[in-house]
């Protein structure tokens, strides 16, 4: 269940293991009919690449492979009867791998509806169009103070996504927007990154995190660490301690929790709603039900082995699939052991920080490596070509600032009134 990094890898691994066994049926249940390459989401927000170039149709991935695809939303589990419920009916199983991913976690924030999360393709597309809509409003705004408030963009969460989206926004705004929107002077644009802990990129190598911090600050991004958002409202965020920051847009990258459907599973969960699984990755009392990726925490694993990153989900997927194969062959299960693969964080055009196999570096070479790795990891030659072309065109031509969707959740469009000052 699930067509993300974990679910897709599990299905492909099962296909390899049961290639010569036509009696085994493999079914991938996915709400989306595509696989999303999430690491490039921040580049959708900044219009560097096209949304369609980081998705790959599941059927194109399958091609001649024999696994089945059910495009359906999972709606429940009936472990006793060995069935999962879906939006198009019940599906029986002998073995189940749960890889339903996660949803934004607002930690009960008051005014969460005013924040824009960034974990799905829809999030990225909606956020991009909302941002551009905001720029149009700011372009026309005659009041200087209101204009500066509209042009204050707040990113909450200093992890990978938060840092990368702040860097992407900076490129988009200062390299493209201020040249084209005559009502938007560079001095009025303010980019704020809010992080609850003492340092950004928690879990990454501390020296690299410090280097990233200096680089971001040099680019003009304001970093507020040890700061927490107490409340979000229309047009402002309030920090713990009472400080109110007038802001045009709040991007929420401060946390995820497991798919809410997992609450109905038996057994203990961690605070992020993940199921506690055995070292063999199955539910404690259900040896045929596995959970992986953002849906699971291995009992006793150190905190750095529970980060919601693709390599972890994919490594777990391969072990879960192996254990399914072992179960079918009546062999003993193997244990999962995580091998972290290093860190790559993009800091916008021509800059990144990298920690690979203990070697740390940053700047242009790191950025080239970041691009190469992400391109290689993309599924399918067509998408690799398209993203490479997008990147090439992005160095030669301006970014696309067309608003493709009608503005949603824009209080200015909805209220519909302000003085028109064409620019």
Interacting residue ranges for a second copy, rule: CB under 8 A: 27, 29, 32-34, 50-52, 55-57, 59-60, 62, 68-72, 86-91, 121-122, 125, 132, 136, 139-140, 180-181, 381-382, 385-386, 389, 393, 396-398, 400-406, 413, 416-420, 422-423
Q: How far apart are CA 269 and CA 214, in angstroms?
A: 38
Q: How far apart are CA 361 and CA 353, in angstroms?
A: 6
C-alpha pair distances (Å), 186 with each of 104, 173, 258, 382: 32, 8, 40, 37
Cβ-Cβ contacts under 8 Å for 404 (sequence gap 6 or more) = 125, 129
User: Quick one: which H or E segment has residue 138?
Assistant: helix 121-140
Smallest distance from the beta carbon of 107 to a second copy, in angstroms?
25
Smallest distance from the beta carbon of 72 to a second copy, in angstroms?
6
Phi (first) and psi of residue 363, to 5 degrees = 90, -155
Give the tokens for residue 219. 């680019």
Judged by CB, which is closer to a second copy: 47, or 253? Answer: 47
Smallest distance from the beta carbon of 92 to a second copy, in angstroms?
10
Smallest distance from the beta carbon of 298 to a second copy, in angstroms?
30
Judged by CB, which is closer to a second copy: 199, or 400? Answer: 400
Judged by CB, which is closer to a second copy: 89, or 302? Answer: 89
CA 169: distance to chain centroid? 16
User: Quick one: which H or E segment has residue 47?
Assistant: none
User: Quick one: which H or E segment has residue 297?
Assistant: strand 296-298
Smallest distance from the beta carbon of 417 to a second copy, in angstroms?
7
The DSSP-derived string for 370-403 is: HHHHHHHHSSSHHHHHHHHHHHHHHHHSPPP---
Smallest distance from the beta carbon of 281 to a second copy, in angstroms?
24
Phi (first) and psi of residue 321, to 5 degrees = -65, -40
Judged by CB, which is closer to a second copy: 376, or 381? Answer: 381
Judged by CB, which is closer to a second copy: 214, or 382? Answer: 382
Judged by CB, which is closer to a second copy: 86, or 105? Answer: 86
């Amino acid at each position: 269940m699930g067509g993300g990094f974990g679910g897709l890898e599990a299905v492909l691994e099962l296909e390899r293991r049961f290639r010569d066994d036509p009696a085994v049926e493999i079914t991938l249940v996915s709400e989306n009919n595509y696989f999303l390459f999430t690491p490039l989401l921040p580049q959708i927000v900044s219009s560097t690449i096209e949304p369609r170039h980081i998705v790959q149709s599941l059927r194109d991935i399958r091609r001649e492979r024999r696994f089945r695809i059910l495009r359906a939303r999972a709606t429940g589990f009936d472990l006793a009867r060995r069935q999962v419920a879906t939006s198009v009916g019940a599906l029986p199983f002998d073995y189940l791998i749960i890889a339903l991913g996660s949803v934004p976690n607002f930690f009960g924030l008051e005014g969460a509806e005013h924040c824009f999360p960034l974990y799905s393709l829809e999030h990225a597309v909606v956020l991009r169009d909302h941002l551009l809509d905001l720029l149009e409003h700011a372009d026309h705004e005659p009041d200087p103070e209101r204009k500066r408030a509209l042009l204050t963009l707040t990113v909450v969460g200093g992890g990978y996504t938060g840092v990368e989206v702040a860097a992407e926004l900076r490129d988009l705004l200062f390299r493209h927007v201020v040249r084209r929107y005559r009502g938007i002077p560079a001095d009025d644009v303010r980019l704020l990154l809010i992080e609850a802990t003492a340092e950004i990129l928690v879990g990454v190598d501390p020296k690299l995190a410090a280097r990233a911090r200096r680089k971001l600050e040099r680019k003009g991004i304001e970093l507020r660490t040890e700061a927490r958002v107490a409340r979000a409202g229309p047009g402002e965020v309030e920090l713990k301690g009472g400080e109110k920051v007038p802001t045009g847009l709040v991007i929420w990258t401060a946390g995820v929790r497991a798919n809410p459907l997992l609450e109905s599973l038996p057994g203990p969960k961690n605070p992020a709603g993940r199921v506690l699984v055995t070292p063999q990755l199955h539910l404690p009392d259900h040896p045929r039900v596995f959970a992986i990726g953002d849906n699971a925490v291995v009992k006793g694993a150190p905190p750095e082995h529970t980060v919601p990153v693709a390599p972890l989900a994919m490594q777990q997927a391969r072990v879960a699939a192996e254990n399914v194969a072992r179960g079918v062959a009546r062999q003993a299960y193997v244990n999962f052991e995580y091998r972290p693969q290093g860190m790559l964080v993009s800091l916008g055009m021509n800059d990144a920080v990298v920690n690979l196999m203990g070697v740390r570096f940053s700047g242009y070479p790191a950025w080239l490596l970041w691009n190469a790795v992400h391109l290689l990891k993309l599924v399918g030659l067509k998408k690799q070509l398209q993203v490479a072309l997008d990147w090439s065109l992005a160095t030669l031509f301006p970014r696309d600032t067309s608003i493709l969707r009608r503005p949603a959740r824009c209080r200015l469009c909805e209220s519909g009134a302000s003085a028109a000052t064409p620019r």
